[in-house]
Amino acid sequence: MQHLILALSHAIKSTGLHDQDDTEALAYWAANHIGSALACAGDYHGSFSESDSRQPPPMCDWKVQVHSHGWSNLVLEITQGTKILESMQMLIPATAESASCEETQARRQSWMLRLPRFPQPKAKEMASHSSKSNSADTIRLCADTLSPNTHCRFDLEARVIEHLKSKYSHANPGDKHQSNRAVGFVALLPQISLSPPSMPRAMLYQKLPGKPFDWRTACAERHAMLAKDMAEALANIHIPCDEITELTAYPYGDEAFLETVLPVALTLLPKHIAPKARDYFAAAHALYEQSAPGTTHQGISYQGNSHQSTPESCTSERLTTSRCTPLRVTPVLCHGDFGPANVLITETGRLAGIIDFSDICRTDPAMDLAPLWRRMPAPFFTLFLAHYQAALGPERWQALAPDSLLKRAQYYALRRAAFVIWYGTSFGFSEGLKPSIDYLLAHFGVEFAR
């Protein structure tokens, strides 16, 4: 596996995240796990060394590509350049419903290695930068105080995924439909391995089949089964999950939304729009995030998506002042970033995998519906919502306060756009802000211009 170790070392070194010792340790650890997987039919908990009798087949032409589009993580895609080996045929078998032959081959040849963009600073580094409170280096070193502690987040992500697998691996065998649905859901989740505590944090998993899908092209007739797949998967994620107490509603420290996050976004909106946008967020935030039950609030009721057609129950209407009754929704486990990049689709239009649970949180499920509502054509979203309601069942559906669900999805879509602007500005990712700015302008600009 020497070729793989060298390829990994070169790629990790190119990120500039770690020193030579840590780079070599991570490269050997990742190569060790991949070698064991190939030699031992997917045993990611085994070990491999020169003295091990279970020598992996000879490999060559390993390629490691760095994907740098992530804001909190870098992802290294590790691909074997040779043909699939017979030993790999024993790895997780793909079904006709979950992947095509080509997708199965791609999965069995590839692994994904995730590294935090903001590695835990060493004590001497923090000391040497303590006098540079305004420097970019200090912001980078102190990132764990501003963004989620990615080391703990990796552990939390792995625990949540294992919790979901455990829950649905023991589905009621007497209910064939439920059992089949549970087995299918477990296959959508990655098999995660974490680097040992003595090393910098890293996450390794075998690449799942499928590719991201442009939801704007989703068709209710052509992609009917995809709507059902996605709805059932999201319903499986949206469980109370009280067992994992570390889950919070604000994994990125944005609970002070009105005081910290929103002002940054408002500076990028035209002056005649910003005050009205601020009023909307203040009222919606009080209504959906922090109001005590049983009280009323002189707020703003806003519904609709001004730049696309929407389901009949969520038609566009002008902003009006009304007496709003604040509500509380029982928080559930949420993916946190259930967007097109993290939902993988097969060539035949079926759900193939769900990745990147790094934003996992416990909050209003409308947060996970927000990116779907924002991007999906109305007929497809309406079909998805019908399947989602059926998958939840009457009791869980009513617990979501369905009468306001779409309004809350609207709010969380706009809130997410403001958050992205704040986060990108804080951490120097200004090149990715335009879509979020445009989204806020498309809503508030057009709506308030009437």
DSSP per position, 254-310: ---IIIIIHHHHHTTS-TTTHHHHHHHHHHHHIIIIIPPTT--EEEEE----TTS--
How many domains would you assign to the chain? Answer: 2
Question: Quick one: 237 and 360 in the same domain?
Answer: yes
**Tens-digit pLDDT profile for residues 14-28:** 999 999 999 999 999
Given a cut of 90, whether residue 251 has pLDDT beyond it is no
Question: Quick one: 160 and 284 in the same domain?
Answer: no
Q: What pLDDT, on the 0 to 100 scale, is given for residue 91?
A: 44
Domain end (from 162, 185, 209): 209
Given a cut of 70, whether residue 369 has pLDDT beyond it is yes
Question: Quick one: 166 and 236 in the same domain?
Answer: no
What percentage of the chain carries pLDDT values higher than 90?
Answer: 54
**Tens-digit pLDDT profile for residues 275-286:** 989 999 999 998
Q: Residue 444 maps to which CATH number?
A: 3.90.1200.10
Question: Quick one: 189 and 225 in the same domain?
Answer: no
Given a cut of 70, whether residue 329 has pLDDT beyond it is yes
**Tens-digit pLDDT profile for residues 78-110:** 998 754 444 444 444 444 444 445 444 544 579
Task: Give the pair of three-digit tokens for residue 14.
Answer: 């190119």
Q: What pLDDT, on the 0 to 100 scale, is given for residue 254?
A: 84
**Tens-digit pLDDT profile for residues 25-53:** 999 999 999 988 887 644 333 344 444 44
Given a cut of 50, whether residue 383 has pLDDT beyond it is yes
Q: What pLDDT, on the 0 to 100 scale, is given for residue 153?
A: 87
Question: Quick one: 177 and 317 in the same domain?
Answer: no
Domain end (from 209, 240, 263): 209
Question: Quick one: 257 and 321 in the same domain?
Answer: yes
Q: List the beta bridge partners of residue 113.
A: 76, 204
Question: Quick one: 156 and 287 in the same domain?
Answer: no
Q: Please give the C-alpha separations between residue 372 and each of 96, 179, 356, 368, 377, in angstroms, as whole numbers.
A: 26, 27, 17, 8, 9
**Tens-digit pLDDT profile for residues 190-239:** 999 999 999 999 999 999 999 998 998 899 888 999 999 999 999 999 99
Q: What pLDDT, on the 0 to 100 scale, is given for residue 446?
A: 66
Question: Quick one: 444 and 411 in the same domain?
Answer: yes
Given a cut of 80, whether residue 307 has pLDDT beyond it is no
Average pLDDT, the chain: 78
Q: Please give the C-alpha separations between residue 206 and each of 55, 185, 338, 407, in angstroms, as whole numbers.
A: 20, 17, 20, 38
Among 174-178, 251-255, 295-299, the minimum mean pLDDT is found in 295-299
Question: Quick one: 295 and 428 in the same domain?
Answer: yes
Q: Which residue has the tokens 């052509």?
A: 222
Q: What pLDDT, on the 0 to 100 scale, is given for residue 73?
A: 86
Question: Quick one: 239 and 384 in the same domain?
Answer: yes
Question: Quick one: 22 and 159 in the same domain?
Answer: yes
Q: What pLDDT, on the 0 to 100 scale, is given for residue 133?
A: 40
pTM of the model: 0.79
SS3 of 71, please? coil
Domain end (from 209, 236, 266): 209
Task: Give the pair of three-digit tokens for residue 335.
Answer: 């993916």
Q: What pLDDT, on the 0 to 100 scale, is given for residue 366?
A: 96
**Tens-digit pLDDT profile for residues 134-192:** 434 433 333 444 444 555 789 999 999 999 999 998 766 665 556 567 878 999 999 99
Q: How far apart are CA 94 and CA 201, in angstroms?
A: 30
Torsion angle (degrees, nearest 10) of CA 340, 341, 343, 344: 110
Question: Quick one: 245 and 130 in the same domain?
Answer: no
What is the domain extent for residue 151? 2-209
